[in-house]
Amino acid sequence: MIQLRDYQTQIAAAVRQAFGQGYRAPLLVAPTGSGKTVLFSYIASQAAAKGNGTLVLVHRQELLAQTAKTLARFEVAHGLIAQGAEETQHRVQVASVQTLVRRLDRLDWTPNLIVVDEAHHTTADTGHGRILAHFEGARVLGVTATPERLDGKGLGVQAGGFFDVLVEGPSVAALVEQGYLSRPVVYAPQTQLDLSGIRTLGGDYEKSALAVAMDRPAIHGNAVKHYRQYGNGAPAIAFCVSVDHAEHVAEAFRQAGYQAASIDGTLDDQTRRQRIDDLGAGRLHVLTSCEIISEGTDIPVVGGALLLRPTQSLSLCLQQIGRALRPYPGKKRAVIIDAVGNTLRHGHPLEERDWSLDSKPRRQRQEEEAQPRIKVCPECECVHPPAPACPNCGFEYPSQARQIAVRENATLAEVKVDEAKLAIKREQAKCRTLDELRQLGEARGYRSGWADYVWSSRQNRPVRWQTQPGR
């Protein structure tokens, strides 16, 4: 029997509410490590108990195995639709998107509910989209930690996507406060890397040029130095640009006396699983990765994430950081070594996010990316919100933000979240009525229309739920 946490029970109720209100395809947004697989396993088991069929879609082999393992742990009978798997008649089926697309025409089973894991990949021109179009009569539950696409297009129906309402779970900060996630401690450079010479392709930095910029022996050495300085020997994942970059970083760690290996899509499934298992069992200090374990892979013992790939993708940044946030006995914090300034671009992992199903125009995305999320004083290393001068020592920043080239001997400083700003957002989230918002606005000295604006915005997302700290 699956026992849900309080917030998971509330999310399940919000999903039922969405379906009850006539929505076909709610999108559940909850942080990495919040137990989304457990939650949709529960929903699938409840559907099966009522005689309804559930199809769980995953897009990678690692996610297929992980989902099947979770279902088995909770004794949920299920089958697999994947290469080499024997077909069964179970009411719950876990399917590889790639395999199911090829079998749609000869499949004699129609699900009542389709769960789409890592749903931010769902577009009309993908395998996900073709499957959802084929089973147009089924209800759909999308699940993701990051409902954003690189091209800025929204995942909602109005933006050409599939999902028609947002169900929002607890924030990272709330789960950290309640002990369900490890507290991230972030170290980043004091200024942003100058990547102006690297073009954007498909919404992110062009990989071949980026690999040339980042795959340098001195930069590899910096990664080792920062891990030795901040990582305390904890199992860590290093996120790299290319296959060669991942192997070169792994070799730098091995030469420094650490047990390290690389993982990428060119390896066979058995080797990939073995190296992931080695990291989880403590046989490796560092596992370097090229696009394999940014999403979904559950290795709770991992206590560090080394960000060695600059990215314009908020989703990719948060997915990578999330690999280190899962709690584990004796693990007091998650060390995020951001050697490329991704957190300066996208914000601290504890920041509250205002997710939406709508598209984000390119100009808006560019303006947001251009805005500094935090500042690190070069004089006293005080970390603070953007301001003309350091509030600690009074250092005045130049009128134009400084940019630097990729530096081979960069130093890092701890990046802290604005706790005061975080507390304000939490207080606002606690207001469940318009009157409560008006009272809060009066207490803060806000303009009279503030509460009405916030309330109106909430009504545009009728099934939006946010956790309450301490619940």
Sign, CA dihedral 136-139-145-147, equals positive
Question: In which residue are the tokens 């009066």 written?
Answer: 442
User: How far, CA to CA in Å, does 369 sit from each of 295, 342, 365, 384, 406?
Assistant: 23, 10, 6, 18, 18
Q: What is the pLDDT of residues 322-372, one digit of tens each?
A: 999 999 998 889 999 999 989 888 888 998 888 888 876 544 444 444 445
Q: Tell me how far apart the alpha carbons of residues 119 and 182 are, in angstroms, rounded to a whole number.
A: 24
Six-digit token string for 409: 């001997």
Q: CA-CA-CA-CA torsion for 370, 374, 378, 381, nearest 10 degrees? A: -160
Q: What is the pTM of this model?
A: 0.78
- Residue 370's contacts (CB-CB under 8 Å, 6 or more residues apart) are none
Report pLDDT digits (tens) over 106-128: 888 899 999 999 898 888 888 89
Supply the pLDDT for residue 167: 93
- Domain range 175-417, CATH architecture: 3-Layer(aba) Sandwich (3.40)
pLDDT at 344: 86
Tell me how far apart the 2 most distant CA atoms of the chain are, in Å: 70
Residue type for 219, please?
I
Q: What is the Cα–Cα distance from 231 to 229, expressed in whole angstroms? A: 6
List where CATH 3.40.50.300 sits in the chain. 6-170, 175-417
CA–CA gap between residue 425 and residue 403 (Å, rounded):
31
Altogether, the residues listed in the chain come to a count of 471
Instruction: Give the pLDDT of residue 465.
Output: 46
List the structure tokens of 147. Answer: 């409902």
State residue 109's pLDDT score: 87
CATH class of 6-170: alpha beta
What does the radius of gyration of the chain's CA atoms come to, in whole angstroms? 23
The closest of 60, 36, 30 to 121, measured between CA atoms, is: 60
- Segments of the chain scoring below 70 in pLDDT: 294-297, 360-387, 390-393, 397-410, 418-426, 457-471
Report the alpha-carbon distance of residue 219 to residue 347 in Å, rounded: 23
